[in-house]
Structure 1
Amino acid sequence: MMQRLYFLAPNADTTSDIADELNQMGLTQDELHVVGRKWKPLEREGVPVATLRETSDVMNAPKRGVPVGAGLGAVLGVVVHYVLGPSLIVIVPAMAVFGGLFGLWTSTMVGVSVKDVKVSKYRQALNRGELLMIADVPGEREETVKQMVRRHHPEVVIDKITARDEARPVGKGH
């Protein structure tokens, strides 16, 4: 299972060094992303800039919206079935599908506006010019990666999504 680690670095040079070290450990460009105001030099070096997928709840929101929408659509379908008569039995699955699609659409729209919990946490540091590197690492290599970064860059803050973070009503950014 992949773990999402966050490295808050004071500048682009440190962020670039961490990216190089993580690449040498086998992490690909697809597993590294940078958030911050001064990301252009890093992008020229090949470090991808974080997109809405990494910085918002756009990927997780539909996991909640589709079942809720489908359930509410099915309930509404049952109500319509009993009000308009048993000849409209097809209305229940049709309303469930419509509700699921509506739930997908609305939850995605909401998910885009909900910021990732760690991006929100470090917003002030990002505004000061620090950079947040997001790295998706295999769970079994998490400690090795953290130890390497701590050893070479003790000034870097290392963080990850915790159970407490997941309980908050903000995004996980996956």
Structure 2
Amino acid sequence: MRRRIYWLVPDLASARRTMDDLLLARIGESHIHFIARDGAELTGLHAANLLQSSDIVRAAQSGLVIGGAVGMLCGVGLALLGPLLDSTPQWGLVGALAIAGGLFGAWSASMIGASTPSHRLLRFMPAIERGDYLLMIDVPRGRVDEIEDRLAALHPEAHLEGVEPGIPAFP
């Protein structure tokens, strides 16, 4: 399990030096993510992708649950209506519509979530809009203190903004 460390870095030069120091500390580039305001320079930095900067995963999960529930309710309604139109209830519709509803709900909600900033990052938005760079580092649980101490010693201009207790494996 990894933990995500958040740092605010004041400018591009400092962000590049911080990334170099993290690479020297053997943190892989795929575990270092930067977010900056729109139009900001990110050359030489590993920019956060859509999964890390938006609410796409959270929205897809919600859409899956809601869509599956609505699909299941529609399936139950149709299955109970079946004996009025036919001789036997069609209980297979319940599962089929629950799956179809869940898939449609996840897809449609993820389209909305892709355009919504991550709820985890909302507290950093004022600083990002001022021009700071948000650095997110995913490190093994045992290295959190080591990395925090290293960055605090090498980059006094940067500010530790906290540690997220656990992050999903893929974003």
Q: Smaller-chain TM-score range?
A: 0.7 to 0.9
Say if 1:118 and 1:161, in contact at 8 Å, map to a contact too. no
Q: TM-score under structure 1 normalisation?
A: 0.81
Say if 1:34 and 1:48, in contact at 8 Å, map to a contact too. yes
**1:3-82 correspondence runs (5 A):** 3-37=3-37, 39-40=40-41, 42-43=42-43, 45=44, 47-82=45-80
- The corresponding residue for 1:97 is 99
Q: Percent identity?
A: 27
Larger radius of gyration: 2
- Tell me: CA distance 1:161–1:84, structure 2 relative to 1, closer, same or farther (3 Å): farther
Task: Describe the SS at the equivalent of 1:113.
Answer: coil
What's the C-alpha RMSD, in Å, of the aligned pairs? 2.2
Aligned residues: 162
- How far has the Cα of 1:127 moved from its partner? 2.1
- Tell me: CA distance 1:118–1:12, structure 2 relative to 1, closer, same or farther (3 Å): farther
How far apart are the structure 1 equivalents of 2:21 and 2:67? 44
How far apart are the structure 2 equivalents of 1:138 and 1:64? 28
Are 1:142 and 2:144 counterparts?
yes
How far apart are the structure 1 equivalents of 2:32 and 2:46? 7
- How far has the Cα of 1:148 moved from its partner? 1.1
- The corresponding residue for 2:168 is none
- How far has the Cα of 1:58 moved from its partner? 1.0
One-letter amino acid matched to 2:5: L
How far apart are the structure 2 equivalents of 1:118 and 1:91? 38
Q: Deviations over 1:6-31 (max 9, x none)?
A: 21111112111111111112211111
How far apart are the structure 2 equivalents of 1:95 and 1:61? 20
- The corresponding residue for 1:108 is 110
The more displaced of 124-133 and 113-122 is 113-122
- How far has the Cα of 1:139 moved from its partner? 1.7
- Tell me: CA distance 1:63–1:118, structure 2 relative to 1, closer, same or farther (3 Å): closer
Say if 1:6 and 1:133, in contact at 8 Å, map to a contact too. yes
Q: TM-score under structure 2 normalisation?
A: 0.82
Task: Describe the SS at the equivalent of 1:27.
Answer: coil
5+ long unaligned stretches in structure 2 = 166-170
5+ long unaligned stretches in structure 1 = 164-173
- How far has the Cα of 1:60 moved from its partner? 2.7
- The corresponding residue for 2:160 is 158
Say if 1:39 and 1:49, in contact at 8 Å, map to a contact too. no
Which structure has greater helix proportion? 1
Q: Deviations over 1:31-52 (max 9, x none)?
A: 1121114653x42x2x221222
Say if 2:5 and 2:164, in contact at 8 Å, map to a contact too. no
